[in-house]
Structure 1
Amino acid sequence: MHGQITLILCLIILYTSCSYRKHKSQSKYVTIIPYGNISQEITDSLTVAIKRQYGYKTILMSADTLPSAFINKEKGIRYSASNTIDYLKGLKHDTVSFVVGITDADIYITKKDKYSNIKQPANKYKVWGIFGLAYKPGVSCIVSIRRLIHTNRGIMLSRIKKITLHEIGHNHGLHHCQNKTCLMTDAVETISTIDNANEALCNDCMQQISSAF
């Protein structure tokens, strides 16, 4: 009887250990999938930024194209960000924690009011171009560089890093932050807000992630 109890305890410890190692393994990796013409300079800078802020290693996939079914042509060619993050979620491998899509295409959402109607004026907000979108919490996000272009390469790369880290923050469950220098600040429909933010989470947001993970 004593031998059976010992065996059961050993199996429980082994199972717990394996589950823990699986969780730890998943927590170490983020998959980056480029869509369109995304330079190595951009993906390299994201690899460094993600490691520095969240501690994740990255797995860079080959460049691909977004599904044409996600295109809306009312304001030129824009891809549905909502459909895209759902699509990316389906591409996530069990061994990674998050999937980040980075694209040179324009992406959009339909902005809604508190009654779930299209925000007015509808012709402005039905196909509303955005910088990025993520599940909150969730495992996937999409970032578009289309609205982040700047003649100064350093400023452009900083914007891309901030938006990407911001969306990964939402994946962790973080809400928009009232601290205007925190990278989780709300862009409030303008790029200047992003330019004024740091490339790092504030202490309060960092504590939220630390307590949750």
Structure 2
Amino acid sequence: MKAFFWLLLIGIFINCTPLAKQEKVVVIQPFGEFSNSEAKLIFKEIEKINPKVVLRKNIPFPTETFYKPRNRYRADSLIKFLGSEIGKDSVIIGLSEKDISTTKVKNKDWGVMGLAFRPGNACVISNFRLSKNNKTEQFHKVALHELGHTQGLPHCKNKTCLMRAAEGGNPTDQEKAFCSSCSDYLKARNLKLVKTALTNI
């Protein structure tokens, strides 16, 4: 009888103990003819800090996301498509070699390197506007920037922080890592984007 009593107490304790937050899975979804080798590089870089990462096979751009007047794809429409493709335990990032755009204030079709809903479960990045000399490193930084937005991070005023606003340009070569403030914010989330110690990318 005593053994049963203790087993009952243990069962109640286990059921009442709050579960630890499950780390989110980062899903990488290349679009169109995005380079498989570049997709694998992004996969490896993200895997270093967030082991739970999946690289999917390339899929065609959804036809409804194409903006014919400018011959590019609408980033907001791509995000909506991506967000419907995963569950609550994941964050998905789309990779594009084509130019992407969104609406910004009075500009109906503003070209961007990346876009994310903040907070959200999806983002998309493009290497179309990146420097040819340093494209891989810049692309990795843009990926972390947009993934940071999905976790609720706003733009940062620190000029060397990965969350710096592009402001119509490409400042990625000046960015080093998440600043201490942004890093602390991300460490409290269940998506790993920073290591325990702040390091340069």
TM-score tier (shorter)? 0.7 to 0.9
The one-letter code of the counterpart of 2:127 is I
Alignment gaps of 5+ in structure 1: 113-118, 120-124
Q: How far did 1:11 drift? A: 4.9
AA at the equivalent of 1:92: I
1:79–1:106 Cα contact (<8 Å) kept: yes
Secondary structure (helix, strand or coil) at the match of 1:91 reads: coil
What secondary structure, in the 3-state scheme, does the structure 2 residue paired with 1:110 have?
strand
Using the alignment, how far apart are the partners of 2:95 and 2:114 within structure 1? 9
Please name the residue that 1:137 is paired with: 119
Pair 70,13 (structure 1): closer, same or farther in 2 beyond 3 Å: same
Contact 2:24 2:91 (8 Å CA) reproduced: no
Contact 1:131 / 1:145 at 8 angstroms: preserved in 2?
yes
Match of 1:80 among 74, 79, 95: 74
1:68-118 CA-partner distances (Å, limit 9, x unpaired): 11111222x221111111111111135x42111101122111111xxxxxx
Given residue 13 of structure 1, which amino acid in structure 2 is its aligned partner? I
Distance 1:203 1:12, change over 3 A: same
- Where in structure 1 do 4 or more consecutive aligned residues deviate above 4 Å? 2-6, 14-17
1:56–1:180 CA distance, 2 compared to 1 (3 A): farther
Q: How many residues align?
A: 189
1:210 pairs, out of 183, 187, 197, with 187
1:47 counterpart letter in structure 2: F
- Taking the TM superposition and a 5 Å limit, the aligned residue runs for 1:57-206 are 57-75=52-70, 77-94=71-88, 96-112=89-105, 119=106, 125-150=107-132, 152=133, 155-191=134-170, 193-198=171-176, 200-206=177-183
Length-normalised TM-score, structure 2: 0.83
| Partner deviation per Cα, 1:164-188 (whole Å, 9 max, x = no partner) | 1100011111111111111111111
Q: 1:143 to 1:15 in 2, by over 3 A?
A: farther
Aligned match for 1:34, one of 27, 30, 37: 30
RMSD: 2.4
The answer (yes or no) to whether the contact 1:47–1:57 under 8 Å persists in 2 is: no
TM-score, L = length of structure 1:
0.79
Give % identity. Answer: 32
Structure 2 distance, partners of 1:15, 1:47, is 37
* Greater helix share, structure number: 1
Give the letter aligned to residue 153 of structure 2.
L
Q: Say if 1:74 and 1:127, in contact at 8 Å, map to a contact too.
A: no
CA distance 1:197–1:14, shift in 2 (3 Å): same
Unaligned runs of 5+ in 2: 191-201
